[in-house]
């Protein structure tokens, strides 16, 4: 079954695309496409994957630098590995990535309906800084607001 201590992080590359897509398409109603991920890899974004000792991909994040801030583009834990604390491990690694390169903060958007993710972000220390009206598609006729959240990675409590 494995435990948190059996896990490790590594930089994701195009070679990991199939494993990432498998998770992304399973957990998101509107997943990133192969093209989105390729653009992100070739755009020099920062992508890290969390693996267990067998090498299975448990979760990942993609971050885009914007001046002194990192923008969280996509972040997921594989469905069968959720509720085991991996979301927190991934967020802690984001903070380390940001600090190593002297970024000041991490910013993200989340669907107002994504209560689980909002709860994870709030517990970790992200604060709402605004809303973007109709930011996300829901279906052909409807759109959904985004909550914009930010965390300052320089705070000592993290
Ligand atoms: C968001 C996500 C990364 C969280 O990872 P996770 O492993 O599921 O996180 P956990 O289950 O360990 O933690 C979820 C927390 O939210 C709480 N929670 C679970 N379901 C919830 C719900 N429906 N509403 C509110 N809170 C909820 C849990 O109680 C838990 O809190 P705890 O740690 O105090 O027990 C994961 O659910 C995921 O990949 N979702 C799909 C992709 C996604 O939405 N990404 C974020 C986009 S902005």
5-50 tens-digit pLDDT: 799 999 999 999 999 999 999 999 999 999 999 999 999 899 999 9
Q: Which atom of ligand 1 is nearest to the CA of 83?
A: 11
Tell whether 123 is covered by a domain. yes
Looking at the predicted structure, is the pLDDT value of residue 158 above 90? no
The pLDDT, as a whole number, for residue 120 is 98
Tell whether 45 is covered by a domain. yes
Rounded to the nearest angstrom, the distance between the alpha carbon of 26 and the centre of ligand 1 is 15
Pocket (CB within 6 angstroms of ligand 1): 27-28, 75-77, 82-83, 85-87, 108, 110, 114-117, 119-120
The pLDDT, as a whole number, for residue 12 is 98
CATH of the domain at 54: 3.40.630.30
Q: Which atom of ligand 1 is nearest to the CA of 23?
A: 39
Least confident of 3-7, 53-57, 95-99: 3-7
Domain that holds residue 81: 4-152
pTM score: 0.93
Tell whether 157 is covered by a domain. no
- Give 104's pLDDT tier (boundaries 50, 70, 90): very high
Which helix (H) or strand (E) segment holds residue 40: the answer is helix 34-42
Q: What is the mean pLDDT of the chain?
A: 95
Tell whether 158 is covered by a domain. no
The pLDDT, as a whole number, for residue 157 is 78
Please give the Cα distance from 25 to 44 (Å, whole number).
Answer: 22
> DSSP string of 82-136?
TTSSHHHHHHHHHHHHHHHTT--EEEEEEETT-HHHHHHHHHHT-EEEEEEEEEE
Q: The tokens of 132 are what?
A: 């973007």
């Amino acid at each position: 079954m494995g435990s948190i201590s059996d896990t490790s992080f590594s930089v994701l590359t195009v070679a990991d695309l199939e494993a990432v897509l498998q998770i992304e398409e399973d957990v998101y109603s509107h997943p990133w496409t192969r093209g989105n991920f390729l653009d992100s890899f070739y755009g020099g974004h920062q992508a890290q994957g969390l693996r267990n000792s067998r090498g299975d991909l448990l979760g990942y994040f993609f971050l885009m630098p914007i001046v002194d801030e990192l923008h969280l583009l996509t972040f997921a834990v594989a469905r069968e590995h959720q509720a085991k604390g991996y979301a927190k491990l991934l967020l802690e690694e984001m903070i380390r990535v940001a600090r190593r390169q002297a970024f000041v903060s991490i910013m993200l958007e989340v669907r107002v309906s994504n209560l689980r993710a909002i709860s994870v972000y709030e517990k970790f220390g992200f604060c709402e800084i605004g809303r973007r009206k109709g930011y996300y598609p829901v279906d052909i006729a409807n759109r959904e607001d985004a909550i914009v959240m930010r965390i300052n990675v320089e705070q000592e409590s993290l």
